[in-house]
Amino acid sequence: MVRNGRYVAGVDTSTQSCKVIIVDPMTGAVVRLGKASHPEGTEVDPQAWWDAFLLAADDAGGLEDVAALSVGGQQHGMVCLDASGEVIRPALLWNDTRSARAANDLIAEAGRGDPAEGAEWWADATGSVPVASLTVTKLRWLVDHEPDNAARIAAVCLPHDWLTWTIAGTGRLEDLVTDRSDASGTGYMERAAADDGPGRAYRRDILARALRRPESEVEGLVLPRILGPWESAGRGDAGRGWGEIVLGPGCGDNAGAALGVGLEPGEALLSLGTSGVVAAVSDRAVADPSGLVTGFSDATGYWLPLACTLNASRIIDAMARIVDAGYDEFDDLALSVGDSGGLVLVPYFEGERTPNLPDATAELRGMTLANADRAHVARAGVEGLLTLMRGALDAVRDLGVPLTRVRMVGGGARSTAVRRLAPEILGVDVEVPEPGEYVALGAARQAARTAGFDSPWVGTGSAS
């Protein structure tokens, strides 16, 4: 395959920022990195993503020596385009909750008024039970609250789809593409059963239900073509003079991170950021009517069952403030005692999603004169965090997904106490990779394989 450069680029267009890394595909070494901020808020004009990408690419030293590029990005966001390819309204992001009632309505409608029956229907059909983050619920909100905008929809895509399409620069709606990992988070991609192959089709009946239209009326709506894991999205430089860069299909951020750390079936990525995420690579699809685990696809041809908690590294932040300690001292305190002495932290500082307790609050239980000290409180904080994440891991395991190892990343993984106690509390081997831009690194690996680079780094952790 003809290439115009020796490097590949991985893009992470996240909620807060755009990061561009330039990678040597022979070694996986990051040779340059650039970053630019995105606007705050839960709805954003996609033009801001393009502007940030250009700034980040410049900050990374440009793309003139780049042969291939792929975009990983925030999932679920709703980008609606009219017949001329113009954005109809600012994109609603995954963390915009105005569609929570729409999610409940869609579940109830599928169950003919019975939410439990509806949740089972959705899990079987798509792998996920609707919540406010999913694109399908945002479309229902749009048709109910902005019917004039809904009537103008000619195409619906996701943030990474839109940015890839804009980089390609054709302007043709029919050139919109996506991948299984991101499409599986829309709420209207089919869930493939374990023996049905990878599953790469949209459920237009679900889309019609969301938009309150007859199915015949949504047949003409353009949805991004779902590419295979290493299928090219085309070439382009959007007139920027970069040369004809091979474009990978892109991926959702969790799938990108899993690819970035080289996750294999039987392994899970445990991310301890503001929230906690357990994403396990599985060789079969899953369906969880409880809604605790979403049945996403990964970026390599496998699946990515995922459980998310609202609380994670902020548990350590809160408990460190309570004992009036910096992070290093907090770790020393937690490890200075053999256990919490019966003190138990219920760590639902901002409600919780896994388990589904949105109105819950945090508690310290079992306090006695023997454990009422800074060390035992710190220990209870670490154990509370890891016990919460054990619950997320167990939710995935309860669906029959085997887990033999966890790769733990994120700010919370920097805690010595968390790393020390994690294997015993989580009940699995734990590895802590070096900190890195794993979403962008996964996108770069995808770009390298799409462009035909051949090296041990490109092939690691990738299904055929």
- The single residue of 96, 175, 179, 253 carrying the catalytic annotation is 253
The two beta strands, 66-73 and 7-13, are: parallel
Could you give the CA distance from residue 444 to residue 397 in angstroms, rounded to a whole number? 30
Could you give the CA distance from residue 320 to residue 326 in angstroms, rounded to a whole number? 7
The two beta strands, 29-37 and 225-227, are: unpaired
CA nearest to 28, candidates 464, 463, 376, 459: 459
Could you give the CA distance from residue 8 to residue 55 in angstroms, rounded to a whole number? 18
For 65, the 3-state DSSP assignment is: coil
Alpha helices in 23-168 (DSSP H): 47-59, 100-110, 115-126, 135-145, 147-151, 159-168
Could you give the CA distance from residue 412 to residue 406 in angstroms, rounded to a whole number? 14
For tokens 């694109």, what's the residue? 135
Could you give the CA distance from residue 453 to residue 442 in angstroms, rounded to a whole number? 15
Could you give the CA distance from residue 325 to residue 319 in angstroms, rounded to a whole number? 9
**253 assigned to active site:** yes
The residues annotated with a catalytic role in the active site are: 253
